[in-house]
């Protein structure tokens, strides 16, 4: 009985060994080599299809130059600075005097108040949408698509982007005209050349990544604060009648209290020139993809920018 049990166990071990050999042979025939599965995978990397997939690069509009990891910003270094830079634009510096000269002090204050109210209503509406819906990386387009649907949101988003391009061209042209006047260059091609140089510089900063844009904005915000203080303090300390700076007098206030429009100008044409200052408040919403906490950064930063400006 003991001998029969021994031969029975030997027979079972032999069957298990045969089954194992058959399995290995099948694997050998399927892979075409005696190597392991990892060897076959390494060989697949040199296949033409594998080479195409490995050498496939991202489209040029998706490439982030000089940025190897996402950089996220907060309320003050992201939203607040961006909104302030967009609000304090070329219109505020070059057209405020023209606005008061046409509309007068009373109507000018009313127009500025109206623009601030429009900006405040826009910000509060965006905050309301932000509290009820998650804002994606698309900024204003994402917000409009969430509320109005993809088709309507895409249409308004296209118009908004086009308006931003026009505003950028206006800011660059205003800067170029100011530099040309400062350098006593009356040729129109000098203005165009300065504009192209500024545009190329801004393009390089954008290609460098959001991190460098914010750094550049912090520098611009400091320059804006200094220039605004110089503008306000200079009206009290320096008089230049040749350029219209004659000081604060009761007679001057009486002569500029009521409207006195230039030819072909009216309330709506002046309002149309000054209104783009209100569009800067939406810059914070456009940074939704670059913020640490968009739900809290955008409301606080946008409202703070409107209040300070």
H/E/C letters for each residue in the chain?
A: CHHHHHHHHHHHHHHHHHHHHHHHHHHHHHHCCCCCHHHHHHHHCCCHHHHHHHHCCCCHHHCCCCCCCCCCECHHHHHHHHHHHHHCCHHHHHCHHHHHHHHHHHHHHHHHHHHHHHHHHHHHHHHHHHHHCCCCCCCHHHHHHHHHCHHHHHHHHHHHHHHHHHHHHHHHHHHHHHHHHHCCCCCHHHHHHHHHHHHHHHHHHHHHCHHHHHHHHHHHHHHHHHHHHHHHHHHHHCCEHHHCECCCCHHHHHHCCCCCCCCCCCHHHHHHHHHHHHHHHHHHHHCHHHECCHHHHHHHHHHHHHHHC
Each residue of 185-218: pLDDT tens digit? 888 899 999 999 999 988 887 787 767 777 777 8
Q: What is the mean pLDDT of residues 77-91?
A: 82
pLDDT in the model for residue 200:
93
Does residue 182 have a pLDDT over 80?
yes
Share the mean pLDDT of the chain: 75
Q: pTM above the 0.85 mark?
A: no
Report d(CA 117, CA 305) in Å as an integer.
13
pLDDT in the model for residue 142:
80
pLDDT in the model for residue 193:
93
pLDDT in the model for residue 196:
94
pLDDT in the model for residue 16:
53
Nearest residue to 296 via CA among 96, 72, 92, 101: 72
Q: Which residues contact 67 (CB under 8 A, 6 or more apart)?
A: 208, 209, 210, 211
* Sequence ranges of the domains in the chain: 2-56, 66-308
pLDDT in the model for residue 33:
43
Each residue of 7-45: pLDDT tens digit? 455 555 555 555 555 454 444 444 444 434 344 433 333
pLDDT band, residue 5 (cuts 50/70/90): low
């Amino acid at each position: 009985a003991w001998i029969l049990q021994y031969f029975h166990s030997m027979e079972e071990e032999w069957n298990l060994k045969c089954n194992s050999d058959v399995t290995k042979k099948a694997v050998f025939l399927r892979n075409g080599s005696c190597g392991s599965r990892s060897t076959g995978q390494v060989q697949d990397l040199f296949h033409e299809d594998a080479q195409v997939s490995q050498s496939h690069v991202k489209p040029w509009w998706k490439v982030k130059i000089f940025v190897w990891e996402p950089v996220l910003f907060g309320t003050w270094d992201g939203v607040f600075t961006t909104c302030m830079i967009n609000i304090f634009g070329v219109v505020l510096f070059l057209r405020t005097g023209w606005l008061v000269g046409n509309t007068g002090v009373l109507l000018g204050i009313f127009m500025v108040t109206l623009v601030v109210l429009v900006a405040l209503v826009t910000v509060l509406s965006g905050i309301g949408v932000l509290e009820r819906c998650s804002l994606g990386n698309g900024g204003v387009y994402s917000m409009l698509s969430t509320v109005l649907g993809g088709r309507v949101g895409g249409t308004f988003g296209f118009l908004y982007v086009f308006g931003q391009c026009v505003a950028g061209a206006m800011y660059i042209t205003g800067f170029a005209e100011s530099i040309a006047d400062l350098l006593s260059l009356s040729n129109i091609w000098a203005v165009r050349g300065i504009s192209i140089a500024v545009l190329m510089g801004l393009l390089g900063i954008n290609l460098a990544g959001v991190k460098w844009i914010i750094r550049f904005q912090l520098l611009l915000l400091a320059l804006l604060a200094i220039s605004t203080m110089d503008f306000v303090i200079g009206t009290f300390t320096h008089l230049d009648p040749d350029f219209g700076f004659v000081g604060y007098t009761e007679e001057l206030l009486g002569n500029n209290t009521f409207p006195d429009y230039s030819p072909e100008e009216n309330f709506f044409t002046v309002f149309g020139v000054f209104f783009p200052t209100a569009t800067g408040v939406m810059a914070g919403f456009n940074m939704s993809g670059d913020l640490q906490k968009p739900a809290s950064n955008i409301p606080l930063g946008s409202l703070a920018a409107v209040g300070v400006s």
